[in-house]
Structure 1
């Protein structure tokens, strides 16, 4: 029997912590053009932007290491303890960015410190989403896994909306010059008190904990030996999840600003609306996923991305707020659906004993390859080809690859199958100290 108190505790800890961590991580993306001017003042517009997105992508190179480290740690000491650690580390690294002196003060060390702080963010992020999904899915009613899992997607999109709204409000209030001079620091510093709230909530959460005698001694080795085929299949699908998510949440603001030429405040306003709509839609998508086979949902997510990509970029090129909003909503259909189904499917397909490790490796390696590189590759494709539709073609190719991979993932919905790889939450529930 899955007690409502336990499910509520798990949902609150996972959701609030996810909002805090991804707010911290998202700020960088929404300040990309500003940070390019701050940390790479001697580079041209496109070059500075590519350098800024290169730092963005470098952070993702550390995510697989974070996924391995925190995933295996959660299999040994428990999910909740690890999630409390990650929110503290993310808070520290984000606050650090807000305190970095300007290049005029410390020269080359400014972008170096920025890169190091982003690397710590990336390493920490490796333990967040897959860890939160695993923790949440193990502590709720099996027939409502997607309903609860979609709260993580809602929290993620909501955190990006908050970050976008904050950046827009600050820039609107103080102007572009002040934003470059000092205003960019405000969002990073505001993350500190938010992070402490997230840590406090997670330390008080409840969790089902395996007895010490049943915990794996070498979860990484065991996961790679027994789950490597499933990791490849799931990673193939998550390629679309990662790419569509970061195109929708991060790159489109840069595309509309730098390529289309839409005014910055209008870009952020449209993005805030689109992200808020995605956050609102996520719980409804989650409820729908609980009523349909997971494989059908994965097919819808990937094929809708294939269908919507080129029309969305064409519409975005019209250069109006309305057009930008329509384009983002079109891309958001696949992004929201893929994100919601990933949060539940990723935890369902792996065995419980090494689930944290398997999910952490798969999710973060894939996001490092396809998610973190999305803004950089998309910006480079437009620059190299001269075509604003080049990123759309890239999306289509990856989405078709993800669709193919999804056909090799077994059905795991308890509504449509009687046997799954095992969601076996431990019987002993404790509030860990």
Structure 2
């Protein structure tokens, strides 16, 4: 029995659309590819202080770091374009084909960074080639995450969407933990001198074999059942960009207002924290990387639980909770982390971690539930990546700049607190989407009409789900 009550304890199985076996295979494929994508993307952040000396040796420490993070932000500037481009293709030719393309593009561009000559070898061209490789990474990342969560959640039963969708945030935190762990192992085993000379290249070069593994896993799966259903409808117009923006502008803006917190909290927690502890707190590399590995690992372990809680209590309560947790913990977390020991560094990160995980989990499921099938990949890709470009990609740069300008080491946490307040306001304009039937085809009602001025919502009885044909695995 299906009910629209997000607090229902009933545990439906996906037998009406896909088998449990297929759902697990789909989730594993999405998880594996996302791990590879975000491991590749994360390595740049963990190698930022070394990359600054390799590609910008003539600049002083702060300027070189700002230049490195500026290139970090460039990749995010390309993500909305990648989200729109790959999103339209994903809505036109299928989710699976695009997810295969993005993981190969990311792996190739990441491995290219590991092969780049240094500034001492070719001068300014080293930085130019680094920027081009990061642009390719940005395009790939723009088509990956929204597509992966869409692919998984379109296979999932209505009251377990957050549970299965949580695999993607879990994959993201796992990827960052793996990147941090590899950085830690390399730093402790070969030392700083060797890391600056050649060791920093190793994590980038690992991308090539990982990408081939993810490609092999993803190519064996079929297409999402909802996309197949829309594909069989001759009246369906696939992903017209102008129509997508026109009909989905309001939900895109509201959801984007909340995702700003997801993006900022993720990178303030996962990427910038290591730079803060190294450059501002002056903590040694080993305790910094060790504390970050532990915090990211705990984040990956916490995400599945957050998915179940999100299904249990609904999206709005989860969104409010994440905004409150981050708003309350950001400043104390940074103050504690800045005291300069391994224990306090870990505790400060864990204080921010719970809110960041919660925000990432609810964002994953909202990307699918807020938009109708015919434009879902496009609308979610643009919304997610535009928010990440503005608030995620710029997070390390703005945090470094704020400390440099104000002289206040806690200024990044103040910035995060302000954004958390904005996300709280955006949540008041978001309807409850837990348990809602996902639409397919041009005849479904645009989500804009489901967003009232006041956040009061009535429950409706869902219609009986339409059986959907599923391609067998090859």
TM-score (norm 1): 0.97
Determine the structure 1 residue equivalent to 2:218: 202
Determine the structure 2 residue equivalent to 1:53: 69
Following superposition of structure 1 onto structure 2, how do residues 165-204 of structure 1 map, counting pairs within 5 Å?
165-204=181-220
Following superposition of structure 1 onto structure 2, how do residues 292-307 of structure 1 map, counting pairs within 5 Å?
292-307=313-328
Alignment of 1:64 with 2:68, yes or no, is no
Distance 1:277 1:431 in 2: 36
Determine the structure 2 residue equivalent to 1:355: 376
State the 1:429 CA deviation. 1.8
State the 1:216 CA deviation. 2.2
Alignment of 1:146 with 2:187, yes or no, is no
Distance 2:461 2:154 in 1: 14
Residues 302, 400 of structure 1: 8 Å contact kept: yes
Determine the structure 2 residue equivalent to 1:220: 241
State the 1:310 CA deviation. 0.8
Following superposition of structure 1 onto structure 2, how do residues 232-381 of structure 1 map, counting pairs within 5 Å?
232-381=253-402
Distance 2:418 2:240 in 1: 34
Distance 1:406 1:225 in 2: 22
State the 1:5 CA deviation. 2.1
Residues 239, 374 of structure 2: 8 Å contact kept: no
Residues 64, 360 of structure 1: 8 Å contact kept: yes
**Deviates further, 239-248 or 207-216:** 207-216
Residues 138, 424 of structure 1: 8 Å contact kept: no
Determine the structure 1 residue equivalent to 2:231: 211
How has the CA–CA distance of structure 1 residues 421 and 253 changed in structure 2, closer, same or farther, with 3 Å as cutoff?
Answer: farther
State the 1:423 CA deviation. 12
Determine the structure 1 residue equivalent to 2:148: 132
**Deviates further, 416-425 or 337-346:** 416-425
Distance 2:464 2:151 in 1: 11
Residues 20, 198 of structure 1: 8 Å contact kept: yes
Computing the radius of gyration from Cα coordinates, the structure with the larger value is 2
C-alpha RMSD of matched pairs (Å): 1.8
How has the CA–CA distance of structure 1 residues 351 and 417 changed in structure 2, closer, same or farther, with 3 Å as cutoff?
Answer: farther
State the 1:406 CA deviation. 1.1
Distance 1:10 1:241 in 2: 25
How has the CA–CA distance of structure 1 residues 250 and 274 changed in structure 2, closer, same or farther, with 3 Å as cutoff?
Answer: same
> Of the candidates 4, 9, 21, which is equivalent to residue 5 of structure 1?
21
Determine the structure 1 residue equivalent to 2:127: 111
Determine the structure 2 residue equivalent to 1:396: 417
Determine the structure 1 residue equivalent to 2:469: 428
Distance 1:240 1:42 in 2: 35
Residues 238, 374 of structure 2: 8 Å contact kept: no
Distance 1:18 1:343 in 2: 13
Once superposed, which parts of structure 1, at least 4 consecutive aligned residues long, lie more than 3 Å away? Answer: 415-426
How has the CA–CA distance of structure 1 residues 81 and 432 changed in structure 2, closer, same or farther, with 3 Å as cutoff?
Answer: farther
Residues 17, 87 of structure 1: 8 Å contact kept: yes
Residues 352, 424 of structure 1: 8 Å contact kept: no
Distance 1:423 1:407 in 2: 30
Distance 1:121 1:422 in 2: 41
Matched pairs, number: 433
Residues 352, 425 of structure 1: 8 Å contact kept: no
State the 1:422 CA deviation. 11
Distance 1:143 1:26 in 2: 32
Residues 76, 388 of structure 2: 8 Å contact kept: yes
Residues 239, 375 of structure 2: 8 Å contact kept: no
Distance 2:385 2:160 in 1: 25
Provide structure 2 residue ranges, at least 5 long, that are not aligned to the other structure: 1-15, 437-456
Provide structure 1 residue ranges, at least 5 long, that are not aligned to the other structure: none
Distance 1:368 1:150 in 2: 22
Alignment of 1:89 with 2:109, yes or no, is no
